[in-house]
Amino acid sequence: MKSCISLQNLPIFSFMKKSHPSTSDQILDSIADGVFTVDADWNVTSFNKAAEKITGTSRDDALGRKCWEVFHADVCERECLLKKTLKTKKQAIDKTVHIVNRDGTVVPISISTAILKDEKGNVTGGVETFRDISEVEELRKEVSGKYRHHDIITADHRMLGMIELLPVVAVTDSPVLLLGESGTGKELFAKAIHGLSGRGRKPFVAVNCGALPENLLESELFGYRRGAFTDAKTDKPGRFDRAAGGTLFLDEIGELPRTLQVKLLRVLQERQFEPLGATESVPFTARVIAATNRDLQRMAADGSFRQDLYYRINVVPFTLPPLRDRPGDVPILVDHFVRHFNILMKKEIRSVAPDAMELLMEYTFPGNIRELENIVHHAFVVCQGAVIEKRHLPQLQVRDEGRRTRPATVKGTFEEYDRKTVEEALIAHRFKRADAARALGINPATLWRKMKKYGLIP
């Protein structure tokens, strides 16, 4: 959020404690953003009214003190942005940090920094403008919370219908079968069921049935006793043991070898199992949730998957739609991943350009949500600005037939996303069109056309 004027070109005043505000104080007090300046020794030399309001510290208390004594910001100890500006001669623009005000409340602010010089060009200190973005952060959390359900992020009506059933399914111990392509969020559903159940405080143990060869998979599931084979020096509990009282998540169960299918069926029927080399059975007390990206019904019909096991695990089935069939979730998930990678990579990327978002919404995502996350990660690596543009995305092949199958849906959801993005930018920048357009990465004239189109002119 850039300040409406540049303070770098203001004359340098000597700010001392005065009983009456000077002309220079009055100039700074007319600015809506908080403004303070420091000298070469980091002593605060000016502090306007907006700064007083945001920090809860009066001008008289701030003047002459070190800036970190006034702000108690999270970056003061780690990486002072003003110090970095003075060192690199590069301004910081719209960086989000958190300060602690006089009441001890943590306040999110957006800051910009610049260098102060005298008439001869010598550096005399620095200036920082900042804005309280508490309302913006609350709005962002509210919007984000609307689409988050037990860590599942969606606005799709089919997904929401299944999510509504989760508490009902969770209170039972019935086996659940999650069907859907890789990357659609099957494990998130399994964790949601576990968390909502009475087993939520017990272990959630996941095993990928296609990731290990058969001989290792059997010992991984059932565990073994000392002496069961040459290298078995001690007892080793298996996943069935570790999931005791909790939930066992069998991912990619369609890859389970036939011999293990028989053993798994016996465990589910008898509720007990035998570790390798054991002489006695062990009670099996976990709930089983299975998942696969394969057509188990067809596999059961052609004999490649045991029919009796299929019917045993297919008590409560959920079929998760692929991301290409729910394009309205793309902007919601992108926003989630942008916030995630901003924290992870310590960046301040604000938005995704409309043409880049439109490309993402037209893409078919063979890797589904996992692929979308990787695409956003790639964009974060190459993007050096505040807006992810089309050129920052990896090469995405958008098939013509894919566009023809859902043009109305894509157009509708994109316009909904575009309107929401424009509205949030305008609110965040107090309807200052130049600032909002800069944050969106578009021309102010383009923003004005969008405002008229979406009825956002105040």
User: Could you tell me what percentage of the chain is helix, strand and coil, using 3-state DSSP and rounding each to the nearest 5?
Assistant: 45, 15, 35
CATH of the domain at 421: 1.10.8.60
Nearest to 362 by CA among 389, 321, 320, 396: 396
Name the helix (H) or strand (E) containing 283: strand 282-283
Which two three-digit tokens encode residue 61? 């208390």
Indicate whether 149 belongs to any domain: no
pLDDT digits (tens, 9 = 90+) for 297-333: 999 999 999 999 999 999 999 999 999 998 889 988 9
User: Domain end: 268, 299, 320, which one?
Assistant: 320
Note down the domain range covering 191. 157-320
pLDDT digits (tens, 9 = 90+) for 265-302: 999 999 998 888 777 889 999 999 999 999 999 999 99
pLDDT digits (tens, 9 = 90+) for 373-428: 999 999 999 998 888 999 999 988 665 444 444 444 445 556 676 777 788 778 87
User: Domain end: 287, 320, 353, which one?
Assistant: 320
Distances in Å between the alpha carbon of 103 and those of 99, 109, 292, 454?
A: 11, 16, 53, 40
CATH of the domain at 45: 3.30.450.20
Give the ranges where 354-405 is alpha helix by DSSP (H). 354-362, 368-382, 400-405
61 burial type by CB count under 10 A (0-12 exposed, 13-18 middle, 19+ buried): middle
Q: Computed over its alpha carbons, how large is the radius of gyration of the chain? A: 29
CA distance 408 to 414: 10
Please indicate, yes or no, whether residues 104 and 166 belong to a single structural domain of this protein. Answer: no
Indicate whether 6 belongs to any domain: no
Indicate whether 18 belongs to any domain: no
Query: Three-class SS of residue 56?
Result: coil
Give the ranges where 79-133 is alpha helix by DSSP (H). 81-88
Please indicate, yes or no, whether residues 103 and 239 belong to a single structural domain of this protein. Answer: no
Please indicate, yes or no, whether residues 222 and 295 belong to a single structural domain of this protein. Answer: yes
Please indicate, yes or no, whether residues 277 and 366 belong to a single structural domain of this protein. Answer: no
Please indicate, yes or no, whether residues 221 and 282 belong to a single structural domain of this protein. Answer: yes
Indicate whether 282 belongs to any domain: yes
CATH of the domain at 233: 3.40.50.300
To 10 degrees, the CA torsion angle through 88, 92, 97, 102? 90
Please indicate, yes or no, whether residues 296 and 409 belong to a single structural domain of this protein. Answer: no
Phi-psi domain of 125 (left: phi exceeds 0; alpha: psi -120 through 50; beta: other): left
For the chain, the domain total comes to 3
Give me the pLDDT at residue 168, please. 93
Please indicate, yes or no, whether residues 163 and 303 belong to a single structural domain of this protein. Answer: yes
Q: Which amino acid is at 416?
A: E
Please indicate, yes or no, whether residues 331 and 314 belong to a single structural domain of this protein. Answer: no
Give the ranges where 57-213 is alpha helix by DSSP (H). 59-62, 67-71, 74-78, 81-88, 134-146, 157-170, 186-196
Indicate whether 226 belongs to any domain: yes
Please indicate, yes or no, whether residues 346 and 381 belong to a single structural domain of this protein. Answer: yes
Indicate whether 51 belongs to any domain: yes
Three-state secondary structure along 313-359?
HCCEEEECCCHHHCCCHHHHHHHHHHHHHHHHHCCCCCEECHHHHHH
Indicate whether 227 belongs to any domain: yes
Indicate whether 9 belongs to any domain: no
How many residues does this entry show for the chain? 458
Q: What pTM, to 2 d.p., does this model score?
A: 0.64
Please indicate, yes or no, whether residues 300 and 175 belong to a single structural domain of this protein. Answer: yes
Please indicate, yes or no, whether residues 236 and 339 belong to a single structural domain of this protein. Answer: no
Please indicate, yes or no, whether residues 270 and 352 belong to a single structural domain of this protein. Answer: no
Nearest to 152 by CA among 138, 144, 143: 144
Which of these ranges, 18-22, 95-99, 136-140, 149-153, has the smallest mean pLDDT? 18-22
CA distance 198 to 408: 43
What band does 27 get if pLDDT is binned at 50, 70 and 90? confident
